[in-house]
Structure 1
């Protein structure tokens, strides 16, 4: 017998059950990178997570004969709907065994939840913030997940989701660059240098986490201005900016986070992170007591660099800002002797960046699809 249970986020045992579902499903999957259990639990915490200051979410478990066989979250991002003039719900945290009845029941709970709130469509997977991975993986199953910056799922997930009437909304492509072939044309360097001199653009010399905190307000303003026309864009509140920054600081080396400034304003950025996927796999969802030390060691030893978040204000794109950003990316890869660079989840609608990455020699090798269903 199958039943659907709505999680009480204040009940630690129920939250633990929700968090545990993918750990059982992917226990023997070498490509899956487990999230930190506490981070997932925090997403259910309506007191501590800034999402709930403006929006709402509920969480559901599918239970068959006393065993949890699936889970899903239903969200309404009120700020997103206000920004885009929509009445859209979202689903996230969908994980399930290859069980058609469980998928129908889980998504039925999401659809009922969305209709009760007066919403007319559901999109997803789409989470609570800009560093929650978008979409279902539909190409690149053989490659390891890039930390927790993207989702990993078995191929049968597509069938389960599409059987509910979901159709493609937008794809996000991840691009791989081999450091040996990552050399910009000299013309790009000349344009970048000209932008420094003539447009008063400079690269912020971040060395410490204190430097990063100092520039946090300007960085938040730049994010909220850079992606305003993007499909996935939602303006971050001040508390959400601080929340995201606190998350970044755990695995960030400030010297890998590149910010372009014009005077006292941040106008562009390329966020790089050492690939610590192997350490996260060894941690099995727990940073304490030993996982944190292993994470720090992996940050120093890894030869891979992950890029998650890159952009520049539109008014600086045609005057050399893009060239300066790419020159800094190249310099970072060479200076730190990384062997490869992955830029994760570039929306197919970001045509200029997709074109630039192809020019740089980037090879698309993973694809995640966000779906939509009209209610």
Structure 2
């Protein structure tokens, strides 16, 4: 007997969070997220996303055993250019067509009943969090705040009538190699007159994060599916990043005294929690701190970079992505990071794809956003 039941209790939420850990136990590249972090992300009291969105979670069970999960969301801040679309996400299931069909039928019915005419996803839970289904690059573990899915998931989803709407690229940069000569020529001259690069100022941390968010909301506003980050989400972002952010890996660019752009690299915490099985207690905290502070990490991820639109097409503004990336690459190399992921980048963001390729980075993972008409 296969049943799909809504998640309604803390115990059911705990089962929902833990299910992928069991399903992916045999995958050497799967990394269990920290259970504490997942509970906060899926709880309305601790995730501001719920303030402007409707969310429902489900578990699929068979003979008393959990065999799959899915979510459905309606983000009321979603841009009008996506029409009356709803989102699905958090998909994880055994390799069974019946389970996938039951989960998606339930999520689609929920979205349809609320007037949605399209389903987009996966979004876990919003476009500003973990996005897309892994469709290429299964042979390596995911970086911090990125997903990892089994190869069969895409095939099962496509069999239900879903088609690609966007691919997202994750680039890998090898910090042990110099950037291409063309890029080095640009940055060796240093910043143009009136342009200053500086590190994140931790003494003004909250203000710095607010500035970062303002630039992000402006710079990314024309991107497909972009949804602005709210003030409450900015505060939550500042709180969640503070324990892991390193001011030496975050840079702002100023033009004539005005903050014009930024870049942030994060230590790849996944490298440090790989064998913790999602638990920080009783000894996980000690292992995590030891790896962060003593043995160090070898990989980092750049999840955020942006330049204000008013500067992006000016002679000095065009140079900012190269200057910021060079500053970040130099810092990560100096601090012992051998490789850095730059992600995610929409496939139709030609400018950013060109910049990363020119800098010598290579696509090593592809994540896919699917779409299906619910009419």
* TM-score, scaled relative to structure 1: 0.92
1:362 corresponds in structure 2 to 361
Deviations 1:134-186 (A, max 9, x none): 21111111111113x21111110011111111000101111111112233544
Among 298, 301, 309, the residue aligned to 1:303: 298
In the other structure, the counterpart of 2:93 is 96
1:68 corresponds in structure 2 to: 66
The corresponding residue for 1:139 is: 136
Q: Tell me the residue number matched to 1:4.
A: 4
By how many angstroms is 1:191 displaced?
A: 5.9
Q: Report if aligned partners of 1:259, 1:269 keep a CA contact under 8 Å in 2.
A: yes
Structure 1: distance between partners of 2:76 and 2:86:
9
Deviation at 1:228, TM superposition (A): 0.1
Shift of 1:246: 1.5
Q: 2:254 aligns with which of 257, 261, 269?
A: 261
Number of the residue aligned with 1:169:
165
Deviation at 1:192, TM superposition (A): 4.6
Q: Is the counterpart of residue 251 in structure 1 residue 250 in structure 2?
A: no
Partner of 1:80: 78
Q: Which residue of 1 aligns with 2:148?
A: 152
Match of 1:178 among 174, 177, 199: 174
Structure 2 length-normalised TM: 0.92
Match of 1:188 among 173, 186, 189: 186
Do 1:191 and 1:324's aligned partners in 2 also have CA atoms closer than 8 Å? no
The change in CA–CA distance for 1:205 and 1:278 in structure 2 (over 3 A counts) is closer
Q: Which of 272, 278, 301 does residue 271 from structure 2 map onto?
A: 278
- How many residues end up aligned between the 2 structures? 366
SS at match of 1:193: coil
Alpha-carbon distance between aligned partners in 1 of 2:251 and 2:127, rounded to the nearest angstrom:
18
Residue 256 of structure 1 deviates from its aligned partner by 0.8
Q: Name the structure 1 match of 2:280.
A: 287
User: Which residue among 301, 305, 314 is the counterpart of 2:309?
Assistant: 314
CA distance in 2 between partners of 1:158 and 1:88 (Å):
20
Q: Say whether 1:205 aligns with 2:199.
A: yes
Summarize the Cα distance change of 1:46–1:163 in structure 2 as closer, same or farther, 3 Å threshold.
same
**TM-aligned CA distance change 1:131 to 1:336, over 3 Å:** farther
Cα 1:290/1:252, change in 2 over 3 Å: farther
Aligned to 1:333: 332
In 2, the alpha carbon distance for the partners of 1:183 and 1:293 equals: 37
Is this contact kept in 1: 2:120–2:370, CA < 8 A? yes
What displacement does 1:53 show? Answer: 1.2
Specify whether residues 88 and 265 from structure 1 end up closer, same or farther in structure 2 by C-alpha distance, changes over 3 A only.
farther
Say if 2:222 is the partner of 1:229: yes
Counterpart-to-counterpart distance in 1, 2:195 and 2:278: 41
Deviates most, 231-240 or 128-137: 128-137
**Pair 1:22 & 2:20 matched:** yes
Q: Distance in 1 between matches of 2:54 and 2:354?
A: 37
Instruction: Indicate if the aligned counterparts of 1:146 and 1:306 stay in contact, CA closer than 8 A.
Output: yes
* Alpha carbons of structure 1 residues 326 and 281: separation in structure 2 relative to 1, 3 Å: closer
When residues 21 and 221 of structure 1 are mapped into structure 2, their CA distance, relative to the original with a 3 A threshold, is same
